[in-house]
Structure 1
Amino acid sequence: MNGSKSSHGSNIMNVIKILSTYPTNVFHTFQEYFFTMARSHVPVTGFFLIAIAFLSQQCPCSQGLPYDVVKKMWDSQKIPVTAVLNGEISPDCLSAALNATVNATRTALDAYGKRPAGVFVGNLAWIGHFDECNEIPDFQYCLLDFNITEPVDHLQENNVVSMQYGMCLPNKCTPEDVRNGFQMFVHSIPGFDFKDRLLIQHEPWCTAYGTQYSAGFFIAVVSLGLLFLVVVSSSIYFSCQEAQGLYARDSSVNTQTNHPDHDTSIASSDTSHLICATTSTAITISTGRPSSTRQSSARGDSKLDRVIHSFALPRNIPILLSGNTPNETISCLNGMRVISLLWVILAHTFSFIGTFSEPYNRNTGHSWFYRFMFPIISNPHSSVDSFFFFSGLLVTFLTLKQMRKTEGKIRWVWFYLHRYWRLAPPLAVTMVFYTLITPYFGEGPFAQMLSVRQNCPKYWWTNLLFINNFYPANIGNECMPWVWYLANVMQFFVISPLILIPLYFIPKVGILLLSCLLASSVLTTTILAAVFEFQAIPGLETNGRYSYWDMVYTKPYCRIQPYLIGILVGYMFHRVPKDSVKMNACVGFLGWTVMGALGGAVVSTVPTPYTGSDWPPVVNIIYLSVSRIIWTLYVAWVASVCHYGHGGWVNAVLSHNIWAPLARLGYSTYLVHPILIKLYLSSLGTPPYLSLQLMSFTYAGICLISYVCAAILLLMVEYPLRNLEKLFFPQP
């Protein structure tokens, strides 16, 4: 970074130094300090003031002090301070602090956040001891989150240092009392000249004023419980019919064996009412071969039976776990989709831990940016471009194949309803779980902070309409901000027939239209990047009040480039048969080398906020304008050579059957994994310690649990609704 930014960063650290070293001897200096501060006639216990002052001073081992010494210290601090408090601390809070016992006070002071070791290397989470505080009768734990900011230059950029501080206070103290008391203490420190720039970001989170169980919570729990009972009951019903069908089949075989002249039509007639046709269908799907011994019946073919079987786990689990894929599918996409999703989870694991908590050793995390290839983690945006490419490719490939069968006739209304039916219900169930149930999970200093869902009651409907990338305007105000991706995918899908129809009937017009849209997207991104001087550095995409995330990153007119390339590749796969493409070794080697180098450059060459180097504006503009196209061309190369049989061992790996079940879980895993990361942080009792080894274990655990939870969501919601769709909705 430049010298100006370094000096300002040093100034902010000086502010932290003031907070962490004043006063130098708490038990000698506080008394003199408070006596000179105010002249009033309102007696206030010294507990509240001493406790707030402990923001920056290591507490002596108060647990080991004799009772009479603590009592004298306690009584000596009952001094008049109305001029300081100015009526902003509630009488109940003051009374509770005044009447607190010495033992409770001593324990509360021990549970308070204090200046730890490593402040100047990023340890700014002084959260105290959550469990110790909550064990004190009539006391509560409060977490305060605040920033120290300072303008850097005329561009209105800020250096921001975030701090978290834990307090142990009587239950009668409201979050407003905590905020006001903290502000008064900070503003009264002599020589503290950054008063206006120490900003409390949120109302303090206090356990006595935490989230209360709402009617929505009970409704959500009952509804999900009923859904679970439906799945269990249908599974039992399905299994009983399955067992009866097998018994009937065995009886028929034994009868025919013992009586060679037995009329099999009679046996079939006698047992046909025990056999369910839907069961045979399920067996056909899971094993790949029909059951010739099963026969249908009126009962087995009933609509009610089919509805019940749609929820049955014995029917749906084999479909989920099957590694078989039809020959006409693009099998290499399974591996590519799973790897891309694992990349997304990896980036979210690292970023969420740094965003929603103050790590114990933040500077260690900053040092990772200097490591070779770590930008792959810090710059994961290309993984999202890969998913846009996959979506465009599959929509085009499958739709054109269907249009070929029907001579260009598609039920376009059902085309859209089918897509909405597949995406919206799992999203809705996840949103209900996230909004109404997970706020009550977690038990730790960060739990209440991470349980806030204030935007979901306002904007949940924007997710179900897939307009959440436009409204609300700020991505930080969305309910489930990570689903901005789904809004883009749905919006791309809505306009896709405008390209697919010309591609099928008049290919030249379709390709021309596709090219114009691609050029328009690049031009729009270039103009926005140039006008607002956005940077390519991850984490520094904000220029004043104009956010790159809100103006470019989440907007379909800037993100459609990979989707359009996917449409083009899907059209090529549709028109060009697999066995018609030949490639010699030299072309293959050259293609892998060039495309691999370009793809690697996109994800690994971007500077970071901590490596001390910025790109010139023109380079930033070029990167933001064409990086998505370059990365997508690399992904398109891999998909193409694998699809046409020239991928070698790469195709063998990406097309392996092991990827198929994981790929089926992709959508549900994407929905639930950020929730699980938040729940993990909600259960931490201390600031997270950053080490690559611990982060690796954390990442592995998040992946495993995410896929398990995704399987539950898929088996309870996705698959049953897909089965019902086949029963009641015509196929597009």
Structure 2
Amino acid sequence: MRHLVILIALSVAKGLVADDVEDLSAIFYDPQTRVFLRELSSETFLFSTLEQTALEQSEADKPHLTKECIQDLNILINGTQTAPIGMAGMREIDTKLIIPIMDSTAKIGSGILHGHFTFYGSFEQCKAINYFDQDFHRRIRGGYYRITMDLPLGNQSVEVNWDVCLPASCSRDDLRSVFSGGTKIGQYLIAVTDGHDKIPDYVFASYLIGSIMLLIILLCMVAGAIDYYQRNVASLGFKGEWYELLMCFSIYRNCCDIFSTEAANKPGQISTLNCIRTLSMLWVIIGHSFAFSLAIVDNPLDIFDLRKTYVGQIFANSYLAVDSFFFIAGVLVAFLKFKDIRRNATALSIRAWLMFYVHRIVRLSPAYYILILFYGFLFTSWLHDMPVLLGPQFAVDSCRENWWINFLYLNNFIDEANMCYLVSWYLATDFQIYIFSPLLILPFALFGTFVGIAVSVLILLISTGLNIFEVFYFFLPASDFEGGPVDPRMREKYAYSFWIYHMPYIRCQVFIVGLLVGYLLERKKTVRMGQSFNMAMWVAAFVSMGLALFGLKDWISGHQWDLFPRAMYSAFGRLFWTAGLSWIVIACHYGYGGTAEVS
């Protein structure tokens, strides 16, 4: 989620996080800017700007523009200049070209003081324009473009995005040249983009992957139909290994298994993890939804101001949900592996450890690989004809070039700045921690509890120390939340993500805590504790989690912290959160959860 929240602060106002609407009032202090915004809000501003370019000159005078673009723009300008007054003399060019273009172009609206700097036009109406010109004997179709301008804001600047409808024969380079040529827009112009700039075309791999996925879907439906018929209608007499292999693809059987809750309360299950997993998943979704809403609403600063409230901390600190998943992974790895070691004498053999990795790869990779290929070669090619894609926050990533890095689970190390499918960093980090988890498991299995705990604590301390060192060395913030103040000495924008947030040697902190909890749950079948101790631990757990969740409020609200408190929170905030989770799991598992217990 590293790019999402900061996009508001950066795309709304470069280098600015507006705490009050007065910060943005400065945009109206400059008389020239104020006049420009007033003119920009006029319905005829687009046409008057085009007239300034003197496109009626010969094509030889405009060698940098394409022939069709010059012709279509001149048709538009001439048609506007000769437009009739009133409905009586309305022409076809007026109803099918000029008026639709004028109406489809965005108008500057209210809410600038609240971050309304992206003005959308009517995309569908613009793309529906289809006017046949009798002089050139060809059709003029509508093209939807975004003009990005940089307006002065005191000592800084703010980007304004103005969506316009113009002939589709003009490329973004044509329009950039047009608007740069002595127009009022030219002095503020940054870029001109269109909805197809970032959309990759279909290639052979796209059709191949699409065909494979269709075959898999067909196989799932056929297997599901056979499975349903055999279970609920009549037996077809199918059996054997091939039938069982086919049933692995049964959509009916898999859906029944996914939505079944029968296994949740079986003896030996850690049912509390199901609740934590569900709440964490919802928290991640809410956090991402909150971040994306900042990029598309008309008043992003009103939403962004929520970060100053305690409720806003729940959105801003949704990163802690990721730590919950690392914690769950540690609990399950330890609980299942130590159970296997206790029951199976060969669980520590070389073959057993090889299967430890093979099972992980086989379980994760097929679905993950299909997702990466689908996203990189199919899904991104479907993302067209949507004006929201014109924003920088929706840049198509580099899956077509870097998919193989994801296949190796190294996308958080290799070319991390151009990562394919950004959220896949978690799976890479989790897989890398899993690879080295035997370093934590073997001391317990070979040398006993004391040595195992000592090794785990040592690695935990090393990880914590590296976290503190990197915050001081790279001048990093306290969290991956990028709406907070940034240390000007930090050299890379996303340094926290690369050096801390995505790194297995840092994120293994909570995994280790989870592993210790999993070891306890597997070793101790019952635990006795007094009511007073239980209540005190519940209070301590909630206080610990509250400190992790709300401890950043001052920094998130916009107040810069020194390096020391930033390093302390970065190094220990996740541990405070995980400490609370640990008690919840332990208490509920042994029957001391009260109303919180899942039974």
Paired with 2:207 and 2:390, the residues of 1 have a C-alpha distance of 19
User: Match of 2:106?
Assistant: 113
User: Match of 1:569?
Assistant: 517
What's the secondary structure of 2:207's corresponding residue? helix
User: Match of 2:347?
Assistant: 409
Structure 2 CA distance for partners of 1:464 and 1:512, relative to 1, 3 Å: same
- Name the aligned partner's letter for residue 21 of structure 1: R
What's the secondary structure of 2:170's corresponding residue? coil
User: Match of 1:337?
Assistant: 277
- Residue 27 of structure 2 contacts residue 151 of structure 2 at CA under 8 Å; is this kept in 1? no
Structure 2 CA distance for partners of 1:304 and 1:141, relative to 1, 3 Å: same
Paired with 2:26 and 2:434, the residues of 1 have a C-alpha distance of 50
Please tell me whether residue 470 in structure 1 is matched to residue 413 in structure 2.
yes
**Residue deviations 1:466-508, cap 9 Å, x none?**
111112232xx21111111111110010001122122112123
- Residue 227 of structure 2 contacts residue 247 of structure 2 at CA under 8 Å; is this kept in 1? yes
User: Match of 2:492?
Assistant: 545
| Larger CA Rg, structure 1 vs 2 | 1
Paired with 2:181 and 2:550, the residues of 1 have a C-alpha distance of 47
- Name the aligned partner's letter for residue 352 of structure 1: F
Q: What residue ranges of structure 1 are gaps of 5+ in the alignment?
A: 27-55, 63-69, 153-158, 247-273, 277-299, 656-732
Aligned residue pairs: how many?
543
User: Match of 1:350?
Assistant: 290
Please tell me whether residue 14 in structure 1 is matched to residue 27 in structure 2.
yes
Paired with 2:492 and 2:369, the residues of 1 have a C-alpha distance of 32
- Name the aligned partner's letter for residue 485 of structure 1: Y
Paired with 2:195 and 2:552, the residues of 1 have a C-alpha distance of 41
Paired with 1:231 and 1:16, the residues of 2 have a C-alpha distance of 64
User: Match of 2:590?
Assistant: 644
Paired with 2:38 and 2:151, the residues of 1 have a C-alpha distance of 25
User: Match of 1:316?
Assistant: 254
Q: Map 1:360-399 onto structure 2 (within 5 A).
A: 360-399=298-337
- Name the aligned partner's letter for residue 72 of structure 2: A
Q: What residue ranges of structure 2 are gaps of 5+ in the alignment?
A: 1-8, 10-15, 81-93, 131-140
- Residue 127 of structure 1 contacts residue 445 of structure 1 at CA under 8 Å; is this kept in 2? yes
User: Match of 1:143?
Assistant: 146
- Residue 502 of structure 1 contacts residue 510 of structure 1 at CA under 8 Å; is this kept in 2? yes
Structure 2 CA distance for partners of 1:610 and 1:182, relative to 1, 3 Å: farther
Q: Map 1:287-686 onto structure 2 (within 5 A).
A: 300=239, 302-325=240-263, 326-354=266-294, 357-410=295-348, 411-439=352-380, 440-441=382-383, 443-447=385-389, 452-474=395-417, 477-507=418-448, 508-536=450-478, 538-539=481-482, 540=484, 543-545=490-492, 547-577=495-525, 579=526, 581-607=527-553, 611-652=557-598, 655=599
What's the secondary structure of 1:501's corresponding residue? helix
Paired with 2:199 and 2:336, the residues of 1 have a C-alpha distance of 50
- Residue 195 of structure 2 contacts residue 389 of structure 2 at CA under 8 Å; is this kept in 1? no
Q: Offset at 1:607?
A: 3.0
Q: Offset at 1:218?
A: 3.0
Identify which of 193, 197, 201 aligns with 1:204: 193
Q: Offset at 1:515?
A: 1.4
Paired with 2:153 and 2:272, the residues of 1 have a C-alpha distance of 50
What's the secondary structure of 1:431's corresponding residue? helix
Q: Offset at 1:527?
A: 0.7
- Residue 53 of structure 2 contacts residue 179 of structure 2 at CA under 8 Å; is this kept in 1? no
- Residue 244 of structure 1 contacts residue 275 of structure 1 at CA under 8 Å; is this kept in 2? no
What's the secondary structure of 1:139's corresponding residue? strand
Paired with 2:50 and 2:574, the residues of 1 have a C-alpha distance of 64
- Residue 607 of structure 1 contacts residue 615 of structure 1 at CA under 8 Å; is this kept in 2? no
Structure 2 CA distance for partners of 1:23 and 1:133, relative to 1, 3 Å: same
Paired with 2:303 and 2:514, the residues of 1 have a C-alpha distance of 36
- Residue 526 of structure 1 contacts residue 621 of structure 1 at CA under 8 Å; is this kept in 2? yes
What's the secondary structure of 2:165's corresponding residue? strand
Paired with 2:284 and 2:475, the residues of 1 have a C-alpha distance of 27
Q: Offset at 1:79?
A: 6.6
Paired with 2:201 and 2:146, the residues of 1 have a C-alpha distance of 18
- Name the aligned partner's letter for residue 649 of structure 1: T
Identify which of 201, 204, 224 aligns with 1:235: 224
Q: Offset at 1:185?
A: 5.8
What's the secondary structure of 1:613's corresponding residue? coil
Q: Offset at 1:17?
A: 6.3
Paired with 1:115 and 1:560, the residues of 2 have a C-alpha distance of 49
TM-score (norm 2): 0.81
**Residue deviations 1:334-385, cap 9 Å, x none?**
011100111011101111232xx34201221122223332111111111111
Paired with 1:244 and 1:76, the residues of 2 have a C-alpha distance of 76
Structure 2 CA distance for partners of 1:340 and 1:404, relative to 1, 3 Å: same
Q: Offset at 1:93?
A: 1.8
Paired with 1:437 and 1:457, the residues of 2 have a C-alpha distance of 10
Q: Map 1:720-731 onto structure 2 (within 5 A).
A: none
- Residue 642 of structure 1 contacts residue 650 of structure 1 at CA under 8 Å; is this kept in 2? yes
Say what the alpha-carbon RMSD is for the aligned residues.
3.6
Q: Offset at 1:129?
A: 1.6
